[in-house]
Amino acid sequence: MTIKGKAYIMGAYEHPTRLAKDKSVAQLHAECALGALADAGLSKEDVDGYFCAGDAPGLGPLAMADYMNLKLRHLDSTDMGGCSYIAHVAHAAQAIAMGKCRVALITLAGRPRSEGHSGAVPRMRGADAPDTQWEFPLGVATINAYAMCAARHMYQYGTTSEQLAWVKVAASHHAQHNPHAMLRDVVTVEDVVKSPLIATPLHRLDCCVVSDGGGALVVVAPEIAKSLKRPRVKVLGAGESMKGQMGGEVDLTYSAGVRSGPAAFAEAGVKPADIKYASIYDSFTITVVIQIEDLGFCEKGQGGRFVADGNLISGVGKLPFNTDGGGLCNNHPANRGGITKVIEAVRQLRGEAHPAVQVKNCDLALAHGTGGLLGSRHGAATLIMERE
């Protein structure tokens, strides 16, 4: 059994807002759904499967499905943090392959910027979670959990702040062409390493933005894809996993991508070297370095060297990444960057990225994400897509 070729991403929409003080979260979800369905050339009445995660208000998918008045025969609210929506594409393909639905809608939306969220403030992730009593009192916030991974990676592999900075530099080179990006100024390595330290060794410019907004995807059965006018983006393979503290055998230098990546490549029947464009979740610069290693784009420990000197810049380096500017510069709606990773990969495969960052002959792309906290427990999801 495989999902290879069993489903197509035919609708993709990124909400243009980055500050939505005048909108509700449910409204943002629905606006994204409307945008993705219009992009695909489908209507709400065609949707028979709905996927959302913890950013959706209410109990699982119920409130949003009712708000949009969907008539469903398949529902899935898998939540593994910010990478959930990458996994949702795979789950939608599975459901379609099994005949459980034919038109799957995936939505994400949130307004953390309007609500004043910050990745520097400890966030309670469930008072009854078994880890909470051992960790929440310590002040574990998003950034210092990732910062401990960076510190260990530097200690173990000699990775430098300057190498991490190259990830942000590349993102900023791409974001200058995106009129919706929150941060459009091109920055230098020096700009990054001289920006204020937030949680050592990470600086302000090592961190993604906090933005309102959202996105949606429409995944459909092959016969429906062939009836639509949009370029067809075929799902080739996917993998998902998670990694925690392993009972105290903590290792902060790798992610669950060591499992989700190889599974996706095996199902797709391709190798990392075949990938023309990669969307890599960039909550922080270190996230990209660790994931690139785990996906097999370079050897473990070599990620810092790999990303340096513009190697992630489209038209310049070997692995063009996050050509929308990514979470570091463009958008990180609901503090969850998974869906925008798929959306930009779809743009690249359709040839609809900005001409300044469009990868030539982009026929094979990857979207990969991490959800939760890389430094404590996190999910990982990898998706490989092909232009047909």
- Find how far residue 66's CA is from the centre of its chain: 26
Torsion of CA 272, 274, 280, 284, to 10 degrees: 60
Query: Quick one: which segment of 109-117, 193-201, 254-262, 359-367 binds other proteins (CB under 8 A)?
Result: 193-201
Among 2, 27, 114, 132, binds other proteins (CB under 8 A): 132
Among 183, 198, 343, 367, binds other proteins (CB under 8 A): 198
Q: Which two tokens stand for residue 227?
A: 């009836």
Among 248, 271, 273, 360, binds other proteins (CB under 8 A): 248
Among 3, 47, 109, 149, binds other proteins (CB under 8 A): 149
- The yes or no reply on residue 125 touching other proteins (CB under 8 A) is no
If phi > 0 it is left, if psi is from -120 to 50 it is alpha, else beta; for residue 361 that is: left
- The yes or no reply on residue 246 touching other proteins (CB under 8 A) is yes
Read off the amino acid at residue 76.
Answer: D
d(CA 204, CA 193): 9
Among 170, 202, 280, 359, binds other proteins (CB under 8 A): 202
Tell which residue, 363, 344, 366, 102, has the closest CA to residue 239.
366
Query: Quick one: which segment of 88-96, 101-109, 195-203, 331-339 binds other proteins (CB under 8 A)?
Result: 195-203
Minimum CB–partner distance for residue 155 and other proteins (Å)? 5
Among 78, 144, 161, 178, binds other proteins (CB under 8 A): 144
How many chain residues touch other proteins (CB under 8 A)?
40
If phi > 0 it is left, if psi is from -120 to 50 it is alpha, else beta; for residue 56 that is: beta
Neighbour-count burial of 22, counting CB atoms closer than 10 A to its CB (0-12 exposed, 13-18 middle, 19+ buried): exposed
d(CA 381, CA 372): 12
- The yes or no reply on residue 116 touching other proteins (CB under 8 A) is no
- The yes or no reply on residue 205 touching other proteins (CB under 8 A) is no
Among 28, 143, 175, 307, binds other proteins (CB under 8 A): 143
- Residue 238, Cβ neighbours under 10 Å: how many? 26
- The yes or no reply on residue 268 touching other proteins (CB under 8 A) is no
d(CA 174, CA 184): 8
* Angle made by CA atoms 343, 88, 106, in degrees to the nearest 5: 60
Instruction: Give the DSSP H/E element, type plus range, for residue 279.
Output: strand 277-280
- The yes or no reply on residue 300 touching other proteins (CB under 8 A) is no
Query: Quick one: which segment of 73-81, 124-132, 160-168, 335-343 binds other proteins (CB under 8 A)?
Result: 124-132
Minimum CB–partner distance for residue 321 and other proteins (Å)? 25
Among 70, 141, 280, 307, binds other proteins (CB under 8 A): 141
d(CA 104, CA 48): 6
d(CA 230, CA 351): 11
- The yes or no reply on residue 197 touching other proteins (CB under 8 A) is yes
Binding mask 367-386 for other proteins (x = CB under 8 A): ---------x----------
d(CA 89, CA 7): 9
- The yes or no reply on residue 227 touching other proteins (CB under 8 A) is no
Among 188, 195, 245, 302, binds other proteins (CB under 8 A): 245
Among 44, 100, 152, 300, binds other proteins (CB under 8 A): 152
Longest Cα–Cα distance of the chain, Å, equals 55
Answer whether 346's CB lies under 8 Å from 230's CB.
no
- The yes or no reply on residue 136 touching other proteins (CB under 8 A) is yes
Contacts with other proteins by CB under 8 A lie at: 120, 127-128, 130-141, 143-145, 147-152, 155, 196-202, 245-250, 252, 376
